[in-house]
Amino acid sequence: MAFFSIIIQVRKKSKEKIFYEFFLTHTTTVYDFERQTGISRADGCRYKRKYEKLGLLQQVRLGICPISREKDVQYVSTDKRKFPTPVQLTLF
């Protein structure tokens, strides 16, 4: 039983690694990620939230999904060079 648990943990880590590395080279939607990698959208959304909390992934822009043609979907990336620059407001 413990053997299968270890296999599942290793497999989960490799999916997470695939997710992170995919978004280093691609700026696209999680739905498109699912289509290109075969990793479920549910897993992709879970990894997306985790990396957002860690500050390793950000929304780069809003656009039309290349798969569903839905408007205003998030295009995300883990490449820090593509992150939008924060706008600092001044009080005076």
**Per the structure block, which two tokens stand in for 46?**
């879970």
Distance of CA 27 to the CA centre of its chain: 9
Say what the pTM is: 0.79
Which residues, other chains included, contact 56 with Cβ-Cβ below 8 Å and sequence gap of 6+? 20, 78
d(CA 51, CA 19): 10
Whole-angstrom Cα distance, residue 29 to residue 72? 11
Quick check: is 2 in a domain?
Answer: no
User: Residue 43's domain is classified under what CATH number?
Assistant: 1.10.10.10
In a domain, 91, yes or no: no
Whether 22 is in a domain gets the answer yes
**Domain membership of residue 60 as a residue range:** 12-81
Q: Is residue 73 part of a domain?
A: yes
pLDDT at 87: 75
Asked if residue 92 is part of any domain, the answer here is no
Q: What total number of domains does the chain contain?
A: 1
The C-alpha R_g of the chain, in whole angstroms, comes to: 16
Residue-by-residue pLDDT tens, the chain, 92 positions: 555 554 566 566 689 999 999 999 999 999 999 999 999 999 999 999 999 999 999 999 999 999 999 999 999 999 999 998 887 777 76
In a domain? residue 6: no
Measured in whole angstroms, the distance separating CA 63 from the mean position of its chain's CA atoms is: 15
For residue 68, is it within any domain? Answer: yes
Does 23 fall in a domain? yes
**What pLDDT is attached to residue 11?**
65
